Amino acid sequence: MKSARDEGVSSSLFVLAIILSLLTTVSGFSECGDYYDVRTDTTGQITSPEYPSMYPTYSKCIWLLRSPGDDYRVRLTLTYQGERYNGSCADYVEVRDGGQYAPLLGTFCDTATNEVVTSGYVYMWIMFKSDGITGSGSVMTATFSAYYNATPSDNTTKPFSDCRSYEFECRNKMCASLSYRCDGWNDCGCKNGCDEDECYSLKITKGVQIGISVAAGVATFLLVALFSFIIEGRNSWSSAVSEATRERETRDLARRRRVTKAFSKFIGSTDNRLSQDNSTANALRAPPPAAANKLTGPLVSLTVQPQNAPAFKVTDMTVTDIDA
Ligand SMILES: [Ca+2]
């Protein structure tokens, strides 16, 4: 029978298997965001992953644009087909006036065609993000250029801080925790030199990643099930051994009582007969020789037949039992 403790252990192992299965799931990531120095003589372009095809799910791209100088701003012309779900932004583009925590210049969830956004200073921060559901969202493309502004801005104020000791700087100047390296998620939101680069010796497709994840999850579950089976089998064996030991001890005790009772009866009948023969009685009641006191071990069989008394056989007892 399974004890409550065993059931608790099995439940905990099952939950652990589920967690491990989820942890072994490798998520896909897209290559997209970057850092650009905006030039005065030409325009640049940024696009959603896999453009001009539809962008994939779980995309995260972050671009940081820097104007040519203090008297320049960044101008972005955006065309986008986003997606809403239950009224909220599911896939969207976010533009900020500097860094990640700078004031918001605009959030685009729906259709936008040649929307123009201009920075107030020298930096512009842009993030495109898609969720895990493929819907109506399709593509994002934008051109950026330098926009001359005669009023210089404070070029010494960075839109981002220097990365801390436990962080690394992504190619797009974002800071990400070192623990985010090679965890299957694109935390930097950039390409080339980001947190998920050079994590695998083999380039594997998303289908193979899913296959590996499922196989790892199933293998983990089977290992836990085997471990639980071994624990349960060991407990059952211990219970069977204990039960057998108790039964043997009970049988031994009952047999010993029967023998003791029969032997007492035999001694009583012998005393009655010997009372008529004092010499024989004295001889039998005399202390045993020294050698007899040293007798130990099992008395396998003893057959006694006093005069005028039925034969009596004693088996399986020890000399110690007789003395007692
Ligand atoms: Ca990561």
CA of 28 to the centre of ligand 1 (A): 11
CA of 174 to the centre of ligand 1 (A): 12
Reported as a single tens digit per residue, the pLDDT across 134-170 is 777 788 899 999 988 877 776 545 566 678 889 988 8
CA of 231 to the centre of ligand 1 (A): 38
| Residue 25 confidence (pLDDT) | 41
CA 104/CA 82 separation, integer angstroms: 18
- For residue 210, give both structure tokens: 């899913």
**Residue spans per domain, the chain:** 30-195
For the chain, state the CA radius of gyration.
Answer: 45
Task: Measure CA 162 to chain center.
Answer: 35
pLDDT band at 104 (very low <50, low <70, confident <90, very high): very high
How many Cα atoms within 13 Å fall on the side-chain side of residue 103? 5
- For residue 83, give both structure tokens: 């997606």
pLDDT band at 118 (very low <50, low <70, confident <90, very high): very high
CA 185/CA 23 separation, integer angstroms: 12
CA of 176 to the centre of ligand 1 (A): 8
Is residue 204 helix, strand or coil?
Answer: coil
In Å, the largest CA–CA distance within the chain is: 145
Given a cut of 60, whether residue 101 has pLDDT beyond it is: yes
Given a cut of 70, whether residue 13 has pLDDT beyond it is: no
CA of 179 to the centre of ligand 1 (A): 8
CA of 184 to the centre of ligand 1 (A): 6
CA of 73 to the centre of ligand 1 (A): 32
CA of 181 to the centre of ligand 1 (A): 5
| Residue 324 confidence (pLDDT) | 38
Q: What is the mean pLDDT of residues 84-108?
A: 89
Q: What is the mean pLDDT of residues 198-221?
A: 77
| Residue 100 confidence (pLDDT) | 84
Percent of the chain that is helix, strand, coil (3-state, to 5) = 35, 25, 40
CA of 213 to the centre of ligand 1 (A): 17
| Residue 83 confidence (pLDDT) | 84
- Count, in order, helices (H) and strands (E) of the chain: 5, 14
Minimum mean pLDDT range among 5-14, 58-67, 88-97: 5-14
CA 49/CA 107 separation, integer angstroms: 19
Q: Do the strands 60-66 and 35-37 form a parallel or antiparallel pair, or are they unpaired?
A: parallel
CA of 278 to the centre of ligand 1 (A): 106
10 Å Cβ neighbour count for 128?
Answer: 27
CA 186/CA 135 separation, integer angstroms: 21
Q: What is the mean pLDDT of residues 97-114?
A: 90
Determine the CATH number of domain 30-195: 2.60.120.290
| Residue 73 confidence (pLDDT) | 93
Q: Which residue has the higher pLDDT, 270 or 202?
A: 270
CA of 198 to the centre of ligand 1 (A): 12
The pTM (predicted TM-score) of the whole model is 0.53
Q: Which residue has the higher pLDDT, 70 or 126?
A: 126
Q: What is the DSSP letter of 289?
A: P
CA of 57 to the centre of ligand 1 (A): 16
Minimum mean pLDDT range among 118-127, 161-170, 286-295: 286-295
Report the candidate in 46, 110, 37 with the shortest Cα–Cα distance to residue 76.
46
Q: 151: which residues sit within 8 A by CB, 6+ positions away?
A: 71
| Residue 61 confidence (pLDDT) | 93
CA 70/CA 37 separation, integer angstroms: 13
First to last CA, the chain: 42
The residue with tokens 């030039």 is: 39
